[in-house]
Structure 1
Amino acid sequence: MDTAAEVVAAVPAGDDAGARTADLYDWQAAMAAVDGLRMYVDALDHEGQLRPNAAGQVICEHHEDWTLVRQPDAELVSCKHRELSSGAWTTIPMLVDKGGLAHLFGRWLALDEKPNVRLVTCAGLAAGLPRKLATATNLLRDEDTGRSLDAAALAAIEEITALFARELLFHRDGLPKEWQAPADAKAKTYVVLDDHIVKARRFLAQLVIEAPRPNRDVIAHAAPTMFAGPAVQKIGAPEDACSAVWEAVLQLFRARMRARGPREYGDLPVVFAASPGSDSATSEAATKGALEGRIVDLNDIDIAIRVALRNPRGYMPLSVPAQHTRLSVKMARGGCSETSIARAEQLRTAFKRYRRERDTSAPGAIAEQRNLERHLMRIADDATHIARAPTGTWGTPLWHSLTQLLNDASTAEWLDGLDDDLALGGICDLTAQCQIWFSPYFDVKAEMKRLRGERVDSRDIA
């Protein structure tokens, strides 16, 4: 290696933190865009037009990662990414700390307990206390609507509420003084006061845990169909406009997350806002000016979408030649969509990374791996039995059956903390080993050779 260019390309980098940070920032903007699109679709009339009286805003990076406002209501949203290799949220302390529930609780207290609250995450909730916490929030909302709960449900709520309140008291960081246990207190013996339990119960009744959403590895492939699709369909636009619409809306949120949205007065200062004789309108304008660059309203989204529909090619990513793997070729033969195939490849990569991170030299690790493969093969066998069709194109039904079976509560018992997506990645890995099929058997190597030849021919023609 004689030149600087050769050295830069050949020597491995010390870390890749910059790219990962950019990915996480973009993922968070994408999740805010999802909520914005949901509010937008709700505001469309039966002809696909924005209702004249429709009102709704997403205020980015305000109190929490974003805040949804639809007068007179507001909802604080905390958004937490978790790598596939890390698995599901396995404990309540993990949700309180790393999952951001403590910070969400603190902001809820500071805002007089008025907003609704929501946690958005790409990781699932492990069996046990995390899922019981989510169940408790649903039961509390049912109770608020007038539904009577049986003794078992009330006992479960009481148990979870006490555990959650104790974790908040011992979290300490960032919470008010009255929500900090004494420095010499022990968590196991500390008695939670009734006032704390009442507040925690009230918070949980307003909490929604939304999990899982697509992670940063698959969001670019999944979002156009999953999230822009409903808007495109309701507007009456062609289906192939989904990617352009998604990118246009995402660009809005990328800018607003950095408070870089347009403002009516640009960088001109606010004058007379603090004068004794200033009226409330001037003060309100000053407050609005501070947040204006962070706000996405329904009209912003509508304009972005209409512009994208008029010029979709301006929002389309540069095409990249397809990589033909055994997994992608088998799924394509079975009729799976490009989005499903891209997600499958990502999940397989995540599963292989997860398996490498577990020390296979540890006693019992090989047996544990073989046991997991047997369980995955059983799930795949059951799903194939459900989805198999005489036409030979049962790939999409099989993919959905696998997802449903892995989400089933009885399946979680043997996952032992393994995320549903990681388990699906394990099935994708077995597919790449030609143990699972999405169509009748065919010569995979010959098909891959044929597809590579077609790609070469197409390049020659171009």
Structure 2
Amino acid sequence: MVDASGRATSAGAPETATGPDGSPHAIFGLAPREDSGSETLGRYRYQAEVAARDCLAMLTEDGIDFVVCEWHEDFVVAFTDGAVELVSVKHREENQGTWTLVKLCKTGGLTHLFDRWCACGCAANVRLRLATNAAMNPANAGPLARMCGPDPEITDGLSAMVDTVARQMLKVRWDEPYDNVPETPKVPLADIQIPSGFAERVRQFLAVLEISCDPPQRAHITDVNIQSLLVPAVERLQLTHVDMAASYRNIVDRIERANRDESDRGQLAAYLADPSRVRYSTQMRQRIARRTITRDVLRAEMAYTSVQLATFPRGQVPLVAPGGARLKRKLSRGLVPSDEAAFAERLRSAWYATWSERRSGLTGDDTDLLNLSTDVLEVVFECKRHARSQIQDGSAYGSMMNDLIAQRLKVDGLSTPPPFLVKDQHLLGLAYQLCDECLFYFSENFDADGEAS
């Protein structure tokens, strides 16, 4: 297995693990089967790259809210409509051939995924996906895949398939401690008696399951993900000077770090599927946060080249920001020199043009702007407090305040990275825009709309 620092360690005895309600959940205390070597790390990297496919889709699809990494081979996609998708990733070497139905149930994650679904109470808002790079054996696993989902491609023989899958899961249960698979006597496969209600539960399971062979092979997944997912996302977000390879590497590294957060191995999917999850403990919410990948996380991992960013977007007629009268009056009241006031208005237009070009058009734009504005205002008010403390006898402090803002408002000094590449001048422009919106003054407050300049 791999510890929190990424070092390969030998598999030991199962550790105690708990579910969201604090009860023992043995399956999540088991160490992964792969226990050492570069082959193990390669599989873990592949699983992270499969998860990266859904993470990158967040940048272009409004319907995805966030992704939570549960374990090396598992992640959960949460959607804005409240639905969640439990995903299990299974890598198979090319020389191992196709998946058979028996192998799918035993080592291919099918029984594992069934157990996770049952742990979520088989909730109506939960769907499932088994993602693998290998093809299905056309004699048995292929027909199974075509019988899955709410609108199966084929339905003839479904009852017989349900019984076959149920018996295979019951057989797997003899050696694997799955909490939601009944224990039955060890007899020949054909003689296994399916417990009452279990076959119907398996039928429901297949109705919400997708078996996907879309993920590329390990040797090709990096290039495919960059070209088919990251590049279109960068174009959609209108980002420039993005180092694609470095950005992708950062994103996958971030997913791996979330996978390695082993402070608690309890299943998180049941929590995510619960519409009333706000009632859970702060500790549970913190565990979720450590494993969560959001749009903001992805943007923060973007790497940029050293190309100098232009203050105004190149190749366009420079935009002039609307408004500006209140900013002019406030700078005048604060005794900011007229040439500095004119430069402030130019920077406000530079911010307006840059924001107009680089905003994504997605629902997260308002939150991005709010977060960035809050960071900018925090610096502005620090500068205002310092300027006021240095001025005696009630003299105007606006000019000193303006100087301090120019000195201290830097991209590198923000508490969180901006949602896209900006330079210090853009932050000053945003500050002047916030002033024009009457969020702060360069003097004591006054009626900036009613007073002539």
With normalisation by structure 2, the TM-score equals 0.51
**Superposed, which structure 2 residues align to 1:211-250 within 5 Å?**
211-237=213-239, 241-250=243-252
For residue 158 of structure 1, what is the aligned residue in structure 2? 159
For residue 94 of structure 2, what is the aligned residue in structure 1? 84
For residue 104 of structure 2, what is the aligned residue in structure 1? 95
Of residues 109, 118, 121, the one that matches 1:109 is 118
1:179 aligns with 2:182: yes
Cα pair distance change 1:174/1:33, threshold 3 Å = same
1:32 aligns with 2:47: no
C-alpha distance in 2 between matches for 1:32 and 1:155:
34
Give, in angstroms, the shift of residue 285 of structure 1.
2.1
Cα pair distance change 1:108/1:126, threshold 3 Å = same
Contact 2:132–2:214 (CA under 8 A) maintained in structure 1:
yes
Of residues 5, 13, 20, the one that matches 2:39 is 20
Cα pair distance change 1:223/1:177, threshold 3 Å = closer
AA in 1 matched with 2:70: E
Give, in angstroms, the shift of residue 312 of structure 1.
8.9
Give, in angstroms, the shift of residue 236 of structure 1.
3.6
C-alpha distance in 1 between matches for 2:207 and 2:72:
20
Contact 2:46–2:218 (CA under 8 A) maintained in structure 1:
yes
Give, in angstroms, the shift of residue 212 of structure 1.
4.0
Contact 1:104–1:117 (CA under 8 A) maintained in structure 2:
yes
Considering only CA atoms, is the larger Rg found in Structure 1 or Structure 2?
2
Deviations 1:10-63, CA, capped at 9 Å, x for gaps: xxxxxx9622122111111111111111133102xxxxxxxxxx7622111259
Cα pair distance change 1:133/1:312, threshold 3 Å = farther
Deviations 1:108-162, CA, capped at 9 Å, x for gaps: 1111012211111111112111110110004xx117xxxxx9xxx4332222111
Deviations 1:422-449, CA, capped at 9 Å, x for gaps: xxxxxxxxxxxxxxxxxxxxxxxxxxxx
Cα pair distance change 1:311/1:285, threshold 3 Å = farther
Contact 1:232–1:241 (CA under 8 A) maintained in structure 2:
no
Cα pair distance change 1:240/1:59, threshold 3 Å = closer
1:170 aligns with 2:171: yes
Give, in angstroms, the shift of residue 249 of structure 1.
2.0
C-alpha distance in 2 between matches for 1:162 and 1:17:
37
For residue 286 of structure 1, what is the aligned residue in structure 2? 283
Give, in angstroms, the shift of residue 290 of structure 1.
2.2
Of residues 103, 122, 130, the one that matches 2:133 is 122
Give, in angstroms, the shift of residue 291 of structure 1.
2.6
For residue 195 of structure 1, what is the aligned residue in structure 2? 197
SS at match of 2:147: helix
Give, in angstroms, the shift of residue 282 of structure 1.
8.7
Cα pair distance change 1:288/1:105, threshold 3 Å = same
AA in 2 matched with 1:30: E
AA in 1 matched with 2:252: L
Give, in angstroms, the shift of residue 175 of structure 1.
2.3
Alignment length (residue pairs):
256
Give, in angstroms, the shift of residue 190 of structure 1.
2.9
SS at match of 1:40: coil
SS at match of 1:215: coil
Give, in angstroms, the shift of residue 234 of structure 1.
2.0
Contact 2:48–2:72 (CA under 8 A) maintained in structure 1:
no
AA in 2 matched with 1:284: S
Unaligned runs of 5+ in 1: 1-15, 44-53, 144-148, 262-279, 314-462
For residue 136 of structure 1, what is the aligned residue in structure 2? 147
Taking only aligned residues, the RMSD between alpha carbons, in angstroms, comes to 3.1
Cα pair distance change 1:60/1:233, threshold 3 Å = same
Contact 2:71–2:260 (CA under 8 A) maintained in structure 1:
no
> Greater share of helix residues, 1 or 2?
1
